[in-house]
Structures are given as structure tokens and as C-alpha cells.
Amino acid sequence: MAIGEVIEAQRPRTLRVPRGGSHSAIFLAAGITGLLSLLPLLFVLYVAVTSGWDTIADLVLRPKVAALLLNTAALLLLVLPLSATLAVACAWLIERTDLPLARLWSWLMVAPLALPAFVHSYAWSAFAPRFHGLGAAVLVSILAYLPFVYLPVAAQLRRLDPALEETAQSMGKAPLAVFFRIVLPQLRLAILGGGLLIGLHLLAEYGLFVLTRFDTFATVIVDQFQSVYNGPSANLLGGVLVLLCLGLLGLETGLRGDERYARVGTGAARQRRRVMLGRWKWPALALLTAFALLSLAVPILTLSRWLIAGGAEIWRLDFILPALGQTATLAFAGAALTTLAALPMAWLTVRAPSRMQKLLEAAHSYVGALPGVIIALALVTVTVNVALPLYQTIATLLFAYALMFLPRALVGLRTSIAQAPVELERAALSLGRKPVSAIWHTTVRLAAPGALASAALVGLGITTELTATLMLAPNGTRTLAMRFWSYTSELDFAAAAPYALLMIVLSIPLVVLLHAKADRADQA
Amino acid sequence: MLQLSGLTKTYGDQPGVDRVDLAAPSGSRTVIVGPSGSGKTTLLRLIAGFETPDAGNITLDGRPLDTVPPHQRNIAYVAQEGALFPHMSVAENIGFAIPRQASNRESRIDTLLARVGLSAAMKSRRPHELSGGQQQRVALARALAQQPALMLLDEPFSALDTGLREAMRDMVEAVLREAGIASILVTHDQSEALAFADHLVVMRDARIADAGQPQRLYEQPIDIETAKFLGETIIFEAAIRGGVADTPLGPLAVDHSDTAKATILVRPEQVRIAENGTLARILHSSYRGAARRLELECQSAGHFSIDVPAATSLTQGDSVCLAVNGRGHVFRSR
């Protein structure tokens, strides 16, 4: 599940009519990836079956788990409605009113994405050390994840046909009624998609909640994993966490229903008139300024403070350069592997849709919803029990990345393949190329720029991945995120600062890519 | 009765609408026609209240609309492609302006559906399940439901196929006439404009070029541009003596007093092939099914085309004699 997917999902997808001929090699490749994607789910089933009812009752039905469930519920019930409301309000102000500097604000709303969630909470725990618990967890989560729902909502607001609102107005509805009866219902898919993304991140996030001292399933699982490797308790809690993720997915699917809010008709949308804010301009500016201050100014100021306080000493290049090198290597290798793994599926989805293809695609997509801890637990169990030589190797870590970021790569590839005309493939075939070669030299070549962009998104995701990296990386691996994390855990905020800065700088392209993607989405 | 006086709206330094005066009596069907960019849609949006004029004013049944927001004007607006609400069914769309507690809500929706020629089975459909013509019908029913004082239609037929377009135009005309609702329709299609209007307004470069009965505008337009915009033309200059112009097509009765030099309009359908008269040569002849179109070259009247019965034996290169039916129109201006 990736933010790009939420933006894309609202666009009615046009699928090619299936055509004859078998693509057995491609189907086989997609099938292997699909089966491997099922590993984490099989792991959870394996744990549930082999543990026996008594162990499950013992380890799951206890007050600690109830407390974790309560924490998770409180987190979801506070963060999701607040983020949705805030995102809709900000998106409306920026896209629909005469608010000054709208362009700048739309960048500032997305900019928090450049900071990994655990860097946000690092900044807050250094800025206000006494601020922790549920309140801190909720605030920092909103600050870190708001762009996930802001981006699709803003894109959808731009895409709505202004004639709908004008017609409703001419039918005697006051502006407020028009907003609630015409605009808001059409933002539903965007809000649900963004909300699901935030919900899944809340379930998966480790670093943010450790630093705000708020226990969630992810933090407790990692703790237990670090004290007793591969223990049944961590595995069973993992099972509960997977159920929660599936529950969220199911809830979103149920709420979304079978709706299609596409634009009816094909005419060019007219430039819309912006609402005059008048005296509401100042409260509106205050709201956006407050968000920018909390989500950007606090982290940047805190970080600057530690960077200045640390001086030249904290720039231990003998540590930083190897970390940078390792991170870059992992990011490049992981992005390449993930993109290659997603390629067969992406091609099948666009060119040869079928029932089987839908099943395979679902297998590819669901892993993205699973937290990194689950994928890590599954791979640890599998390698320890089945393929010990692979335990704690780079190969296993890259495989984990591929599973985690498969949907992200799939979405980008799907879109760029759909834009390459199928006629070219057919022309290459009729000129005597074998199918795979024909596809490689036409569609894949044309889709390369889009594929590069989605590979970049994957690589950037790997750059700031913490949980699975902590659990799976071979001894001696020290990525930027790991260095940052070990200093932060020792409360050495100054030494951690250069790593935070590097991760932020490396994530800026992510912000630019996502902002551009949302900009383009409304031209569809 | 809708009245516009001195209405002006400028976008940057581009005039959108420039000092427009217009009156549309209750129950009348006004059509504003003009090439794209002539300001006709801007005019419609000013009347609906989606735009605020820079100068001039609008009154509806004597009530000034300057400070009235769109939702309090009771002016219905049918957008180019219907603008049906995609998240609502057909029945919900039509019932949007009918209060929820109205006891006859359902029966009113049924009546409106029937009025625009849709079956009750359509009620639960979603807009994307309808064809373009059906969407326009629902949009019309939805606009009728609010019982508006005036209905604005912004190129409502432009997205439809040619055949469907005429059927829809006749249906809309009939429905509006029965309901007695005044309407203003905007289009760039002159044949649609001539067929729908009882009051026709031709716009050009943000201003009203000519306005009046469609037949008067077609036969006696105010200037050459309007004449050319509304149909094909044959235009020449001639002297008028005793109410008769001495034209390249022979002597022609005109609607103007004597003058040494006048610019005269004849519509090609006034020209017929006769036993004797002005000589012309057939440059090209093309078969059109019901008729045959002859492209003619005539000394000093230039090139023009006329339609003749398809059964004619005339072919390219033949010479024919031409005569003119009816009267020629003399342009007053310039």
C-alpha cells in the first residue's frame, strides 16, 4: 500500500481486452512472486496451527494484550478522524479559496513526508522531553502522516467538475449544503484510501511509538524479539497484529463499497472560481501556519540546535560514510529487485487481465499492508527452520524489502505500462520477435521512465526503513536509520542529528515525486 | 422578465462581456449564438450568478439580482454535459431540489421522469450507467424540479450525436413550452439556434451584434458578419433605382430606398435555374442524395453554391441561366 496507489485508485482504470495466446513465462514469473508474497501469511497460519490452543490462550488472552488493543484502538480512533478532518480543511483552503500563497502551502503540507516518522518523534522528544504517552503519539502521528490523506483529497478536489457545485447552487443550495452534499461525498474514496494508509502505518510503526513511550503491538513485538529471538510470544502477537491489519483492510473495502465517482462526460473542466475568504483569511492562515510550525519548524529547529551544539565532532565521517554507502547499496539493490519482481505482474494486469491474474495481483498487493515486523518475523522463522544459511544475510533483507515495497513498484509500473501502446508489442511480434523479447524491446523500454520513478520511490522507502532492517540485517550492518536509531536510543541526540539530516535530504526527492504525481492525477 | 442593462465583465484586459443590454420576456425562448470566445457563456454565468459583473445590472421580474447569491436566484442551470451528481441515483438527482419532507416527492419525480421521456425503471440507475442523451434528459428533469423562474442551458446538446441532437432539441423545446418557463440557451451552432429560438441574439467580440426574431436575423441581418455567421451568402454591390437593384444576377427588388451604391445580400436558396437570365458556369457538381450541389461561377457575383433537385442532368462545365426569388436585403450599416 503506497500513497501513489491511493491517488491512482480513484482514477477509473481501463483494462485491455484479454487476447488469445499464452504468456506462460510471464505468468510463471508472476506466479512465483505471488507465492513468495504469501510467505508471511503462511507463517502466521503456521504459528496459529502449531502453537496449540493452550499456548494461544496463554499468550494472547492476557491483560497485556488487552491493554495493547486498547492503545491501538485509542490511537486509531483519535488519529484517523482528526487527520481526515484536518486534511479536508487544509486541502479545501488551499485548493478552493483565495488564500494567499496557495502553491507554497500545498508544498508545505506535503513536506513532512521528507521526515521519517521516527525523525519526527526524535525531534519532539528532544524538543519537549516530558511530552509522551497517548497525546504525544497522536500528535506526532498526525504531523508525520497527514500528507497521506491530504494528497489524495487535494487531487480529488482539483479533479471535481466545477459544474456540479454550480448546478447544486443554482438549485437553491447554500454553499455549506453544497459542500456537505456534493463535495464531501465525492471525497469519500480519497479520505478512505488515505485513512487506510495512515491506519496501516500506525499499526506498523515502531520508532515513533518507542520514542513517545507509547506501547503498540509493533513496539512490544520488536522488544520481545530482541530479548528472545523467534519466541512464540512475539509470533502470536504478530498474528494478532496481522488480524488487525486485515480488519482495517476489510473495513475500508466494506466502507468503500462498489462506488465509482468518476466524472461523467468528457468535456474540459473549466477553471473554477475561488471562494473569497474575507475576514476568515486570518484564521485560515493561522491553521496552516500552526500545522507548518508543528510539523516542520519544530523538527528543523530541534535538528539545527543539535547540529550546532554538536559542532564538528558529530560528523564522524568514518561512521557516516560507510552508513551512507551501505544504505545506498541496499536501496539500489532493493529497488532493482523489487521492480524486476513486480514487472511480470504489472504487465499481466495491463495486457492480460483474467480471474487468475486478479488473484495473483491480490497476493502481490496485500503484503504491502503487512507491517515490517511481521515480514521480518516470518523470514526469521523460515530461514532459521528451513534455510539456516540464509539467516541474517543481505539476501534475506533484500527479499524482505521486495515484499514490503512490492505494491509501491506495482502501481508505478502498471500506470507506465498502460501508457505504452499495445500495437507496438504486436508489431514487434509480427516482425518475428519472441513474445518476451517483443515486450522487452517495446513496452518495457517505453515504460522505463515511469519504472525508474517507481523504483526511486521504493529506494527512498528502503533508505528510511528501520524495523525490518533492525530485525533482519546481518551483524555489522549499519545503515543511516540504524545508526540514527542506536544514538537516539542512548539519548545521544547530537550524534544522531547528522544521520537525521542525511535521511531528510535523501527523502526530499520523495516529496517532489509525490507532489508531482498528485499534480498530474487531476489531468487524467 | 429578465433584463440586462450595460452588463460588463472583463478578465484582465480581455473583455468577457461588453455593455450588453438584453430583455427576455416570461415564457420566451432566447438563444444566444456566437463563435467560441464571443462571451456567450460568460453572459450565462453572469445571469446565473457564478460570476459578478464589473458594471451594469440584472433584474428578474423587476427584482435586482446584483447582491443575490446563485442559490437564492431560482434560476436553473443545465451545464454542457448535464453535470449529474455521480454519487447519487437518477431519482436522487431529480429530487435534489425537492424538499425531503414533501409528501408528493416520489410522485413528482415520477412525473418529471415521464415528462422527459424516461421510464421509471431508470430511477435507481447511476449517472455513469446512462447514455449521453439520457444524462441530458435527467439534467433537464432535475432543473424542472426546482420550478425555476428562468432556465439557462449551456450548450446542452453539443455532446450528442447529430440525430439525437435534433430529437433532444425538440423535446426540450416542447417541455419548456408546456411548463411555460422562460429559457436562455447558449450555442455555437446556428442551425440549432434558428430552430430553437423565438428570440435570437448573435454575439461577437463580447458584444451583441444583432438581436430579434430568428427570421428577421436570417433574412435581414444587421451586418455582413452576422449574415455569414447565420448561413451561406451571396453578397454584391449595386446601385438602386426605383426600389430595384441592378445586380449581376439581374434586376432585384430590395428593401431600401434609392442609392448609388449599396451592399446587397441574397441567400443561395433564393437563386434558381431559369429559362433565361444571368449566365453562370458550373465549376463542380456533387451528389448529396436528396439534392445536387452546384458550384457556380458568375460574372462579378463571384463563386457560390446552390442546391438543385438531384435528378438534374447538368454536369461540370455546362452553362446555366440564373434568376432570383424574393427580395434582396440591403445592409444599413457602413
Q: What is the pLDDT of residues A309-320, one digit of tens each?
A: 888 888 888 888
For the cut 80, the answer to whether the pLDDT of residue A3 exceeds it is no
Q: Which of A167, A188, A262 sits opposite B79 (nearest CB)?
A: A167
Q: Among residues B78, B135, B145, B77, which one has the least CA distance to residue B111?
A: B145
Q: Which three cell numbers stand for residue A33?
A: 512472486
Task: Give the whole-angstrom CA distance, residue A310 versus residue A500.
Answer: 13
Decide if B130 contacts B138 (C-beta within 8 A): yes
Coil, strand or helix: which one is A293?
helix
Residues paired with B23 in a beta bridge: B3
Task: Give the whole-angstrom CA distance, residue B235 versus residue B127.
Answer: 49
For the cut 90, the answer to whether the pLDDT of residue B7 exceeds it is yes
Q: Which of A173, A188, A262 sits opposite B71 (nearest CB)?
A: A173
- In this prediction, residue A46 has a pLDDT band, given cuts at 50, 70 and 90, of confident
Residues B179 and B35 in one domain: yes
Proportion of chain B above pLDDT 70, given as a percent: 99
Q: Which three cell numbers stand for residue B312?
A: 438534374
Q: Find the mean pLDDT for residues A331-343.
A: 93
- Decide which of A22 and A61 is more confident: A61
Residues B57 and B23 in one domain: yes
Count CB atoms within 10 A of the CB of residue B325: 12
Reported as type and span, the H/E element at residue A44 is helix A39-60
> In terms of DSSP H, where are the helices of B210-270?
214-219, 224-230
Distances (CA, A) of A520 to A158, A160, A261, A378, B186: 10, 14, 18, 38, 32
Q: Find the mean pLDDT for residues B160-173.
A: 85
Q: Which residue has the cell 551544539?
A: A309
Q: Which of A144-148, A445-449, B144-148 has the lowest mean pLDDT?
A: A445-449
For the cut 50, the answer to whether the pLDDT of residue A498 exceeds it is yes
- Decide which of B288 and A287 is more confident: A287
Per residue in B278-334, pLDDT tens?
888 899 988 888 888 999 888 777 788 888 888 877 888 888 888 888 889 999 865
For the cut 90, the answer to whether the pLDDT of residue A431 exceeds it is no
Residues paired with A133 in a beta bridge: none
Q: Find the mean pLDDT for residues B65-75.
A: 89
> In terms of DSSP H, where are the helices of A205-268?
207-211, 217-227, 232-256
Residues B146 and B159 in one domain: yes
pLDDT at A267: 44
Q: Which three cell numbers stand for residue B214?
A: 430568428
Look up residue A179 and give its amino acid. F
Query: A167 and B77: CB-CB below 8 Å?
Result: yes
Q: Which of A292-296, A504-508, B25-29, B311-315 has the lowest mean pLDDT?
A: B311-315
Residues whose CB falls within 8 Å of the CB of residue A342, separated by 6 or more in sequence, listed in order: A33, A364, A406, A409, A410, A413
Q: How far away is chain B from the Cα of A174, in angstroms, using its nearest Cα?
A: 6
Q: Is residue A344 part of a domain?
A: yes
Residues B175 and B205 in one domain: yes
Residues B173 and B266 in one domain: no
Q: Which residue has the cell 422527459?
A: B116
Tell me the residues of chain B between 244 and 263 that have a Cβ less than 8 Å away from chain A: none
Q: Among residues A37, A25, A4, which one has the least CA distance to residue A361?
A: A37
Task: Give the whole-angstrom CA distance, residue A348 versus residue A331.
Answer: 26
Q: Which three cell numbers stand for residue A211?
A: 520514542
Q: Is B37 on the interface with A (CB under 8 A)?
A: no
Tell me the residues of chain A between 168 and 197 that have a Cβ less than 8 Å away from chain B: 168-175, 178, 181-182, 185-186, 188
Q: Among residues B15, B17, B76, which one has the least CA distance to residue B46?
A: B17
What is the residue-averaged pLDDT of chain B? 88
Residues whose CB falls within 8 Å of the CB of residue B102, separated by 6 or more in sequence, listed in order: B108
Reduced to 3 DSSP states, what percent helix, strand and coil does chain A have, rounded to the nearest 5?
80, 0, 20
Distances (CA, A) of A139 to A134, A144, A150, A211, A287: 9, 9, 16, 13, 15
pLDDT at A327: 92
Residues B222 and B248 in one domain: no
Decide if A112 contacts A147 (C-beta within 8 A): yes
Q: Which of A168, A262, A267 sits opposite B81 (nearest CB)?
A: A267
- In this prediction, residue A296 has a pLDDT band, given cuts at 50, 70 and 90, of very high
Q: Which chain B residues are closer than 8 Å to A171 by Cβ?
A: 71, 76, 96-97, 142-143, 146
Decide if A194 contacts A146 (C-beta within 8 A): no
Instruction: Give me the interface pTM, i.e. the ipTM.
Output: 0.77
pLDDT at A367: 85
Residues B91 and B205 in one domain: yes
- Decide which of B324 and A23 is more confident: B324
Q: Is A263 on the interface with B (CB under 8 A)?
A: yes
Distances (CA, A) of B63 to A102, B9, B22, B67: 38, 21, 16, 11
Count CB atoms within 10 A of the CB of residue A36: 17
pLDDT at A156: 86
Last residue of a domain, one of B228, B259, B284: B228
Decide if A419 contacts A447 (C-beta within 8 A): yes
B-chain residue closest to A173, CA distance? B71
How many domains in chain B? 2
Residues B220 and B273 in one domain: no
Decide if A157 contacts A95 (C-beta within 8 A): yes
Proportion of chain A above pLDDT 70, given as a percent: 91
In CATH, what number is assigned to the domain containing residue A342? Answer: 1.10.3720.10
Decide if A172 contacts B96 (C-beta within 8 A): no
In CATH, what number is assigned to the domain containing residue B42? Answer: 3.40.50.300
Residues whose CB falls within 8 Å of the CB of residue A167, separated by 6 or more in sequence, listed in order: B77, B78, B79, B83, B142
Look up residue A317 and give its amino acid. L
Residues B223 and B238 in one domain: no
Query: A264 and B75: CB-CB below 8 Å?
Result: no
Give the range of the structural domain holding residue A493, as residue numbers without chain letter.
3-256+283-521
Q: Which of A419-433, B58-72, B165-179 has the lowest mean pLDDT?
A: A419-433
What is the residue-averaged pLDDT of chain A? 86
Per residue in B99-132, pLDDT tens?
888 889 999 999 999 988 899 889 999 888 898 8
Q: Is B159 on the interface with A (CB under 8 A)?
A: yes
Q: A130-136: long-range contacts (C-beta < 8 A, 24 or more apart)?
A: A131/A212, A132/A212, A132/A213, A132/A214, A133/A212, A133/A213, A133/A214, A134/A71, A134/A74, A134/A75, A134/A78, A134/A214, A136/A212, A136/A213, A136/A214
Last residue of a domain, one of B228, B258, B278: B228
In CATH, what number is assigned to the domain containing residue B281? Answer: 2.40.50.140
Q: Among residues A265, A168, A12, which one has the least CA distance to residue B131?
A: A265
Distances (CA, A) of B165 to A465, A495, A515, B160: 59, 73, 42, 6
Query: A171 and B97: CB-CB below 8 Å?
Result: yes
Q: Which of B83, B135, B159 sits opposite A161 (nearest CB)?
A: B83
Following CA atoms A228, A229, A232, A233 in sequence, which dihedral angle do they give, to the nearest 10 degrees?
Answer: 50
For the cut 50, the answer to whether the pLDDT of residue A523 exceeds it is no
Task: Give the whole-angstrom CA distance, residue A414 versus residue A450.
Answer: 9
Q: Find the mean pLDDT for residues A203-228.
A: 90
For the cut 90, the answer to whether the pLDDT of residue A219 exceeds it is yes
For the cut 80, the answer to whether the pLDDT of residue A23 exceeds it is no
β-strands B29-33, B182-187: how paired? parallel
Q: Among residues B145, B3, B149, B133, which one has the least CA distance to residue B62?
A: B3
Residues B247 and B216 in one domain: no
- Decide: residue A312, CB within 10 A, 0-12 exposed, 13-18 middle, 19+ buried: exposed
Residues paired with B266 in a beta bridge: B234
Residues B162 and B69 in one domain: yes
pLDDT at A485: 92
pLDDT at A15: 42
Coil, strand or helix: which one is B110?
helix
Angle in degrees, 0-180, between the axes of helices A102-110 and A281-292, rounded to the nearest 10: 30
Q: Is residue A278 part of a domain?
A: no
Task: Give the whole-angstrom CA distance, residue B294 versus residue B306.
Answer: 5
With vertex at residue B201, the alpha carbon angle to CA B200 and CA B207, rounded to the nearest 5 degrees, is 175
Last residue of a domain, one of B181, B197, B228: B228
According to the 3-state scheme, what is the secondary structure of A73-142?
Answer: HHHHHHHHHHHHHHHHHHHHHHHHECCCCHHHHHHHHHHHHHCCHHHHHHHHHHHCCCCCCHHHHHHHHH
Residues B40 and B139 in one domain: yes
Task: Give the whole-angstrom CA distance, residue A164 versus residue A166.
Answer: 5
- Decide which of A281 and A260 is more confident: A281
Query: B132 and A170: CB-CB below 8 Å?
Result: no
Decide if A37 contacts A363 (C-beta within 8 A): yes
Residues whose CB falls within 8 Å of the CB of residue A505, separated by 6 or more in sequence, listed in order: none
Task: Give the whole-angstrom CA distance, residue A88 versus residue A154.
Answer: 8
- In this prediction, residue A261 has a pLDDT band, given cuts at 50, 70 and 90, of low
pLDDT at A522: 47
Decide if A325 contacts A457 (C-beta within 8 A): no
How many domains in chain A? 1
Write out the E strands in chain B: 2-11, 14-24, 29-33, 55-60, 63-64, 75-78, 150-154, 182-187, 199-204, 207-212, 234-241, 244-247, 250-253, 259-266, 271-274, 278-287, 291-298, 302-309, 319-324, 329-330
Q: How far away is chain B from the Cα of A164, in angstroms, using its nearest Cα?
A: 5
Q: Find the mean pLDDT for residues B141-167.
A: 87
Q: Which of A127-136, A204-213, B82-91, B292-301 has the lowest mean pLDDT?
A: B292-301
Q: Which of A163, A174, A182 sits opposite B79 (nearest CB)?
A: A163
- In this prediction, residue A16 has a pLDDT band, given cuts at 50, 70 and 90, of very low
Proportion of chain A above pLDDT 90, given as a percent: 37
- Decide: residue B45, CB within 10 A, 0-12 exposed, 13-18 middle, 19+ buried: buried
Look up residue B187 and give its amino acid. T
Give the range of the structural domain holding residue B312, as residue numbers without chain letter.
232-330
- Give the number of residues written for chain B: 334
